Amino acid sequence: MATSSGASSQGATSVWTPANIVTCVRIVFIPIFMVLAELSCVVSGAVYLPVPTIAACALYILLSLTDKLDGYLARSRHEITDFGKFLDPIADKLLVFSALLILLEQGLVSVWVVFIILFREFLVSALRMVAGAQGVVIAADKLGKWKTAVTMVSLCGYFVSFSAASIGFVYEAAWLLIVSGVLMIAAVILTVISGVQYFWNGRSVIFS
């Protein structure tokens, strides 16, 4: 969503641009989503209460869509800031890991899924820091974008499944759960491959 301070001086005069406000709102609402998701589940995941379940699902989908919104606002209004560059990736990661923690608590994803995704994010972030210190920019590739898209679709699918189950569509919810699980496996595979590719692209930074 953001680039260098030179870019920020071209359009944005304050860090409180519409794009950055959207990002901040996303971060503020993530704990609310987690509370709703916690309230939605009783009897160790066997029963889902309709109101909090559907509210959590709708909120998570809305928060996922705001990632595209803040990026569009920043580019279209020429209000790209260093503050946005710092905050946007944090909001994205919080959104993903908040959902993964909910699913992990309910036993719907393996701890290894969370570990692999978290490990990749830490390594990529570290590489970006080293590259940035050397004045090198390692651009995100298509695999990384596909990884993000598949992960978000999978996570949204889980919560849509819970919502369907909460209003009695048990058969449909079961199929959605299976599809979401398959997509999560695909997301983990893309996470590993895109992480390896990212490090290969930045090998000159690591071994310089």
Within 77-110, where are the H helices?
82-105
Q: Do 113 and 146 form a contact (C-beta atoms < 8 A)?
A: no
What pLDDT score does 6 carry?
44
Output the tens digit of pLDDT for each of the chain's 208 residues: 444 444 444 444 577 887 788 888 889 999 999 999 888 766 444 567 888 889 999 999 999 888 777 776 767 777 777 777 777 888 888 999 999 999 998 889 999 999 999 998 888 888 877 777 776 666 667 888 899 899 999 999 999 999 998 888 888 999 999 999 999 999 999 999 988 888 887 777 777 6
The dihedral over CA atoms of 194, 192, 2, 28, expressed in degrees to the nearest 10, equals 150
| pTM metric for this prediction | 0.82
105 in Cβ contact with 39 (< 8 Å):
no
Contact criterion met (CB below 8 Å) for 26 and 63: yes
Residue pair 162/105 in contact by the 8 Å Cβ criterion:
no
Reading phi first (left if > 0) and then psi (alpha if -120 to 50, else beta), residue 78 is in left
